[in-house]
Chain A
């Protein structure tokens, strides 16, 4: 432990064959602390290396599939949509999703309203249904500008918002996690729930993009 710790606090980090590698830069204080606590817990037999690996694998493997399925269900089932909007946690529990200790807040895009999500203080994100946030979501420029000039950000993402549409920005700064329910694209009236889920993109559920009509 002490030798490894010594390696980490100096820039000359050598790749020692361990599965959890750090970048070739000096670790920040929190990383050093995490390494120390993790290795201590392993030495004491509280957790195993395999359990740490499994937890990382589980977190890394989560994608946007659940979010897309939830959106598609809301498009085809109006009762579910109403539950999703009024009591998000209970609605997504039907998909086996447990949002605790946070709560899910679903906001609906309509012909009159466009919603967009940011966490200005860090990178709060509904990981249980959308997986790992994109790199830009954590960047300071997105976080600072999304609350101040959302229309410019949306334009930079290639998302045209009609001038008369209201833009609502949600700062995910505390205990809620946000899912944008995008507008169902035109021309999909006879599509199955499964087909619809395949149309739903990650960025549409963060609210920086709309979903194009098939064939557009």
Chain B
């Protein structure tokens, strides 16, 4: 195999923390030493974070269907290892064959959230690949991004040769085929990316530049708007049943089966709920089959049924009953990421073996009914209280509640209402708990700061100014009951950075590079993150980060992501924004009538409900 770096890597492993991150050799690794074409799939964070990413497992399983293509994993070395690699002149390497990342044919990078952006530059630098696509030569790997953050690709656009918007299952095969064809005919890098631009969902940044009206203008053959790639039916794509089984204690150390994609609840703050439409459920038989196969192949002691809202699956109870029956006595737990209070039932929760241990998680998001209606959360205080009452009556002693502050239309009263709601939850939980057990009762309250995202009804809104965030956090602290409550705030400083990176245009890229040059990396790790470093980096290129985060976009102003077509119509998003102002809710189209978001007619797809209808 080309240039095995293992002897050099091995020498470093006695000098760093957690060497198992770098050694490969896990169960389930697919090796193709003689493959004609090599893809490196990178998650730009540590092994422990990246190995939990389902998308990379899905893509690896899809690529494995092409026999002469090898797929290798790449993660970002932690700061201790990166330091030694630079010192000892070892470039970024793939895990499977320990080859230089720069030598693969295609480097795919997940853009899963904004706080990993500096890590992408760190990885390219360690790999010795020029940071900017414009500086790469024919010999360099093709660098392609994809993932949730690709829905506003501009801040990272200059660092990628192409970015995929939407579902990757089919697109990744088309991208590889197109690249191989280009290589076979000796095409230049420029010709290669032009060919990629004709694949549905592929955005080639070098073919777009700002026009006179401020909108991004495409040059041929690129489409004026890049239409999000979407699979019509998920059931044609089995969940990867034999993924690599890590040794290290990774973030989600379990088997995962995606039970549905998309969510039509229509929460107005939620990007995933907009850009993964329509709802595509996989039928119960397929889910049970994939769980059983996955557990047999991996030996995991837990399986998670994942999606944006698993409890909405029309056949969830039957799936759980069948799985509980089959897994009895094997010491295997079944879990779901989180539950909606309006779909919580005691029988459902009882089927989740993990329930008592980890407690239940609900996300009311806002404290007052008015604000919950404004964000279209579509749950009432009575539903929240009933769910908590049922759970504690049934023996649960812990519940976790998620809230956000800084949501559009929020007032000080809405913030105080969070405290009042939590007080009511605590007293209901106490009433439902026998006196002797009340000491162990816990209500964990986790509060994050709202980050406006592209392709949502709140895409025009700015983030609540930082000083107001701090003030409302203090106000909430005062309004919160003490006894039985554990209050925690998600770091507001990183939420500020997220807003700048999520809603900016291509001009933000220079700021990202400046911040990385000043030492930014692992921004999602609080001990590594420095807001000051980012503020200074932006200020050095003439951007006031606070202003960039909080400035609203005018209705008629071109949006930086205007050339990305998520399938949701702008008129629908605008109407939803107007309804938010009036605190009017919009129903879920899988329970009631079509809401006219535009995805189904625009992308030629439909909701796919496994059992015909969902519980209303």
Answer yes or no: are A and B bound together in one complex. Answer: no
Q: Which residues of B contact A (CB under 8 A)?
A: none
Binding site for B on A (CB under 8 A): none
